[in-house]
Structures are given as structure tokens and as C-alpha cells.
Amino acid sequence: MAALLVSTTAGVLVARWVTLPLLRLNEAAKAIAKGEFDRTVGVSRVDEVGELAQSFNEMVVQLKNSFQALAQSEEKFAKLLECLPVGVIALTPAGSAIFMNSMGGEITGKGAVADTTPEELSATYQLYVAGTDRLYPIEDSPFERAVMGKETFVEDMELRRDGKVIRLQVRSQPMFDDRGNVIYALIVFQDITARKQAEQILADYNRRLEMEVTSRTIELAEINARLELEIEERKQAEKIIRKERDFNLNIIQNSPIFFVAIDAEGKILLANRCMLQALGYTAKEVTGQDYLATFVPQGDRAALMSVFERIVAGQQTVNEHRIQTKDGRIVLAEWHGTPVF
């Protein structure tokens, strides 16, 4: 009987000796699942359980470091989006907004609306087909096209708020997971009201000019021909400037606009795919290289250096300068410089 009691007691002690560390591991694992990465297991044993505890503690440290790095990366990404002079909104396929940058809020007059559906988006943000009183139809919307996996570019959308009509240029792009499913629609938009008004003025001017030409003499016809040539040249110049302006900014790698991040020493930290493709470079060729020496013609570098110095000093800048492609061509771009601390 005594032997049985001793055997039972020993069995209980052994069971506790084995199970207690496992219970601690289980509790610590649950705590980590809740985000408590400072939780470790204090097991000072050299057997399999001790090795398991040691591996668990190492895993906790790795997880903590990974989540910290992820949080820092997300913070930098958010700051970069806030620097862009265009509106940016990310929407789930269900129509809920999960992000809108400050420029987007300034244009729309409201922040990201989470509790809406695809059918309610136009009414929620007061989006209309330009020049009509029809809400922008969901089937033609950049959002719906992105949810279907298609990139879209439109300029026939108006936003109405506070008694104002704002003409929008909108570009949408689907974002996929590793299985090819659309996880959200990324939409970039900007106010092009002033540009459209200028285009209308130019169009009206052309129509009036054509009416006058029919009643003019040969001398006036020659003058008119010169004017038409000047107008055509102006149109072509405006098209080039508009194209460069529309595509010279982007959202990191997934946005169809130029974006480059430069450190305080003028070294290139990041150039997005749109910019690299346009200039004929690969990321490996430009990363770590001097921005001025890589992209800027020799005669422009001194002037641009003063702009960099203002950005490093904490000022926001807007400037145009020439960029040299890999094959020697020259591209004119408008840059919005913003310091990121």
C-alpha cells in the first residue's frame, strides 16, 4: 500500500513537472495572440520541454521585431501618402473605405466612410456624370472596374459639395492578394476644374475664331492661319505638360505616377516602377546613386541643389526640372518636394 502511495505521488509530481511548463507555454501563446509580445516563458530545464520553451522565447523575440518593423513600415507608407498632392482612397470590394489621405479629405470634404456599399458610393461622396444631374453609375465607376480587376482612367466625373462643382480626374487600380483575388481598390483622384475651364475657354475661342475667318479677307485669313498654328502648338504643349503632370507622381510601386525618395545626402532610396520604366532604368541601377548625377543634366544641377537644401531644411517645395533618361532624352517634370522625418 505504501509503495502504491509513493508510486502515485511520484506519478502526480512527474505529471505536474511535465504539464506545468506546457501550461505556461499555452498561456504565453494566448497572450502573444493578443499582441502581448513581452510575454516569455521562464523554464530553466535542459530536457525537451526546456528546449521547447527556449525556442518559444526566441520565436517571441522574432515576432516582436517583425511586428515592430511592420509598424514602422506602415507608418512611413502613411506619411508618404500624406505627402502626395492628389487624393488617395482605398476601398474594399464591399465598398467600405479603409483609408483616405488628407488631400482626399480636402477635395471630398469628408474622410473615409466605412459603412457604405458599392451602390451607395456615388450618393455618399456626391459623384455625378459631368454636366448632368445623374449620379455616377456603379457599373461604369472606377471602383467597380477595379473590383473586376481592371485599371481605369476617367475625367467625366464631378463632385458636388458646399454649392461647388469640382471636376475630377480619377484613376483606379485593383490590388491583389497572392492568390489573385482583389482585396481592395486603390483610387487616385485630383481636382482638374481649373484645367477643364481653361480647355473650355480655349475651345470657345477656337469656335469664335473660325466664325470670324469666314468673313475676313485673304490678309486676315493669313493672320488666322498663323493664329491657328500658334493655338495648335499651344495645344500640343498643353498635352505634353498635362501628361507629365498627370503621371509624374504615384503611390509607391502600385501607383502610375513618378515617385522618388531621396535621403539628406541626395542618394536615391526608392524610385517607383512608373518612373523607372519611363526613364529606362532598373531599380538596381539607380538605388543608392546620386539623384543629380543620375537624372539631372549637368547644366541644371547647381540650381536644383538649392531646392534640395530647402527640403532638407524642412520646407515644402514645388519646382520643375529636367530629367535625363538612360538613352539621353530629356523629360520635363513638375516635382513636389516634401521632407519626411
pLDDT confidence of residue 195: 92
Residues 332 and 276 in one domain: yes
Residues 22 and 74 in one domain: yes
Which cell goes with 277? 520604366
Residues 295 and 279 in one domain: yes
pLDDT confidence of residue 13: 44
Residues 263 and 280 in one domain: yes
Q: Is 260 helix (H, G, I), strand (E, B) or coil?
A: strand
Residues 187 and 108 in one domain: yes
Which cell goes with 340? 519626411
Q: 10 Å Cβ neighbour count for 254?
A: 14
Cut 0.75: pTM above it: no
Residues 232 and 301 in one domain: no
Structural domain ending residue among the three candidates 27, 47, 81: 81
Residues 95 and 174 in one domain: yes
Kindly tell me if the per-residue pLDDT of 3 is higher than 80: no
Residues 40 and 131 in one domain: no
Kindly tell me if the per-residue pLDDT of 30 is higher than 90: no
**DSSP state at residue 47:** S
Residues 233 and 156 in one domain: no
Residues 42 and 71 in one domain: yes
Q: Which residue has the cell 493669313?
A: 222
d(CA 8, CA 292): 80
Structural domain ending residue among the three candidates 81, 108, 135: 81
pLDDT confidence of residue 209: 82
Residues 187 and 89 in one domain: yes
Name every residue whose Cβ is closer than 8 Å to that of residue 238 and which is 6 or more positions away in sequence: none
Structural domain ending residue among the three candidates 38, 64, 81: 81
Q: Give 147-156 contacts, CB < 8 A, sequence gap 24+.
A: 147/93, 147/118, 147/174, 147/182, 147/185, 148/174, 148/182, 149/174, 149/176, 149/182, 150/174, 151/256, 155/130, 155/192, 155/196, 156/129, 156/130
Residues 186 and 201 in one domain: no
Nearest alpha carbon to residue 116 among 103, 107, 125: 125
pLDDT over 90 percentage in the chain:
37
Q: Is 46 helix (H, G, I), strand (E, B) or coil?
A: coil
Q: Is 268 helix (H, G, I), strand (E, B) or coil?
A: strand
**Predicted confidence (pLDDT) per residue in 293-339, tens digit:** 999 999 888 888 888 888 888 898 888 889 899 999 998 888 888 88
CATH number of the domain where residue 94 is located: 3.30.450.20
Residue 238 lies in domain: 195-246
Total domains in the chain come to 4
Of 117-131, 167-181, 212-226, 276-290, least confident by mean pLDDT is 212-226
pLDDT confidence of residue 245: 52
